[in-house]
């Protein structure tokens, strides 16, 4: 099956007063139709930038594209202009990180949904205007019902501040689904919510996406959340792809030392969590070669000089490392 989203060798920098910040470095990523992909990494690893690049909403005039391309449904989202604008909200939709601030506080929920549908919902040919108001409202109510909001009609008449965080994020998911997209980009959709609500929202997002065959690219720094909903996990470190693997293989046999240390840093019964010494390098002065080399226990000379390519291991497991963790070399420290 061909990829819905195809990102290849994407390098990207932001202009800053201190020089270019190289936020993304040779990123490769593909999302197939109907697939749920988790993009995992620490804050500042470039996952939000990547999400914005796919949506085509990077700050104009501040972004330098070094190399590569992003194709979504065949459209170049980096240089798409009008075509990219048309794709946004129609082929690809968005669930934001902060459901509190992402609504306009002065308009009713119903108005904001109606405007989205007016411009982005699929229309039967030849009836672009008029006669849709009623159908739009019915569709909106059905969708609010699908995201398990009680009394959907009453919700349409409410202002954002009258809903709880979980309710607002459910509305956001409904809005992401209403245009019948092929891909939803969910940028840390549960970070701003209570822990008890997080699992509900993740489960809902997964169920609705699977039912409708919609792909989801889900960014998170929470490995537990990735385990909950993803088919495939992509690990990013400091703007580079470290490891891509199907969910089971990823959690059972992490290959990249960074991934391995990331998993070891999770608290687990019967074992103390182990932190990763050091910090994420600044994108202004990234280390040469593999950007993880200053913190890696397996570092050798080649890691500082040559950027490791993503190499395929068994079972669709892709790792960008000169010294991956394997069955023969299990110990992290060599």
Q: Phi and psi of 115, rounded to 5°?
A: -65, -40
Cα–Cα distance, 262 to 248 (Å, whole number): 16
Helix (H) or strand (E) holding 133: helix 133-146
Q: Apex CA 264: angle with CA 42 and CA 51, to 5°?
A: 20
Which residue, 193 or 244, has its beta carbon nearer to another protein? 193
Q: Apex CA 78: angle with CA 208 and CA 86, to 5°?
A: 55
The DSSP bridge partners found for residue 234 are 39, 244
User: Exactly one of 6, 28, 42, 98 binds another protein (CB under 8 A); which one?
Assistant: 98
CB-CB contact of 317 with 245 (8 Å): yes
Which residue, 26 or 192, has its beta carbon nearer to another protein? 192
For another protein, which stretch binds (CB under 8 A), given 61-69, 114-122, 282-290, 305-313? 114-122
CB-CB contact of 258 with 250 (8 Å): no
User: Exactly one of 29, 94, 205, 249 binds another protein (CB under 8 A); which one?
Assistant: 94
Which residue, 32 or 118, has its beta carbon nearer to another protein? 118
CB-CB contact of 219 with 186 (8 Å): yes
Q: Quick one: how many helices (H) and strands (E) in the chain?
A: 11, 12
| Contact between 16 and another protein per CB under 8 A | no
Distances (CA, A) of 297 to 137, 293, 300: 57, 8, 9
CA atoms within 13 A on the CB side of 213: 2
Cα–Cα distance, 229 to 54 (Å, whole number): 21
| Contact between 105 and another protein per CB under 8 A | yes
User: Exactly one of 15, 62, 115, 248 binds another protein (CB under 8 A); which one?
Assistant: 115
In the region spanning residues 161 to 180, those forming contacts with another protein, defined by CB under 8 A, are 161, 175
Which residue, 162 or 312, has its beta carbon nearer to another protein? 162
Which residue, 84 or 296, has its beta carbon nearer to another protein? 84
User: Exactly one of 57, 63, 191, 200 binds another protein (CB under 8 A); which one?
Assistant: 57
Cα–Cα distance, 294 to 303 (Å, whole number): 9
| Contact between 106 and another protein per CB under 8 A | yes
User: Residues touching another protein: how many (CB under 8 A)?
Assistant: 28
Provide, rounded to whole angstroms, the least separation between the CB of residue 178 and another protein: 10
| Contact between 256 and another protein per CB under 8 A | no
Which residue, 8 or 112, has its beta carbon nearer to another protein? 112
Provide, rounded to whole angstroms, the least separation between the CB of residue 72 and another protein: 12
In the region spanning residues 126 to 165, those forming contacts with another protein, defined by CB under 8 A, are 159, 161
Cα–Cα distance, 119 to 90 (Å, whole number): 9
Structure tokens at 168: 């607002």
| Contact between 122 and another protein per CB under 8 A | no
User: Exactly one of 64, 67, 74, 104 binds another protein (CB under 8 A); which one?
Assistant: 104
Which positions touch another protein (CB under 8 A)? 52, 55, 57, 85-90, 93-94, 96, 98, 101-107, 115-116, 119-120, 159, 161, 175, 185
């Amino acid at each position: 099956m061909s990829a819905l989203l195809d990102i290849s060798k994407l390098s990207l920098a932001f202009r800053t007063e201190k020089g270019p910040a190289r936020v993304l470095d040779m990123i490769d990523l593909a999302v197939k139709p109907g697939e749920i992909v988790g993009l995992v990494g620490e804050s500042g690893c470039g996952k939000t930038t990547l999400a914005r690049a796919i949506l085509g909403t990077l700050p104009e005039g501040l972004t330098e594209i070094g190399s590569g391309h992003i194709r979504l449904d065949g459209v170049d989202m980096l240089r798409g202009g009008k075509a990219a604008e048309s794709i946004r909200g129609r082929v690809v939709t968005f669930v934001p990180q902060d459901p509190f601030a992402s609504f306009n506080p002065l308009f009713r929920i119903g108005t904001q949904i109606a405007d989205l549908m007016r411009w982005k919902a699929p229309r039967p040919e030849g009836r672009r205007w008029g006669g849709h108001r009623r159908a739009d409202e019915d569709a909106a109510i059905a969708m609010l019902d699908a995201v398990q909001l009680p009394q959907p009609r009453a919700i349409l008449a409410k202002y954002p501040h009258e809903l709880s965080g979980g309710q607002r994020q459910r509305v956001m998911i409904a809005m992401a689904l209403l245009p019948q997209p092929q891909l939803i980009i969910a940028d840390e959709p549960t970070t701003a919510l209570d822990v008890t609500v997080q699992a509900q929202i993740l489960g809902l997002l997964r169920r609705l996406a699977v039912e409708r065959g919609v792909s989801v690219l889900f960014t998170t720094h929470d490995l537990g959340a990735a385990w909950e909903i993803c088919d495939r996990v992509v690990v990013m470190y400091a703007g580079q792809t470290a490891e891509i693997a199907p969910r089971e293989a990823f959690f059972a046999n992490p290959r990249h030392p960074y991934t391995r240390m990331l998993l070891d840093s999770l608290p687990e019964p019967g074992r103390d969590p182990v932190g990763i010494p050091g910090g994420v390098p600044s994108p202004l002065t990234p280390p040469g070669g593999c950007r993880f080399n200053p913190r890696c226990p397996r570092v050798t000379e080649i890691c500082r000089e040559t950027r490791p390519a993503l190499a395929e291991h068994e079972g669709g497991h892709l790792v960008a490392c000169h010294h991956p963790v394997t069955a023969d070399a299990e110990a992290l420290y060599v």
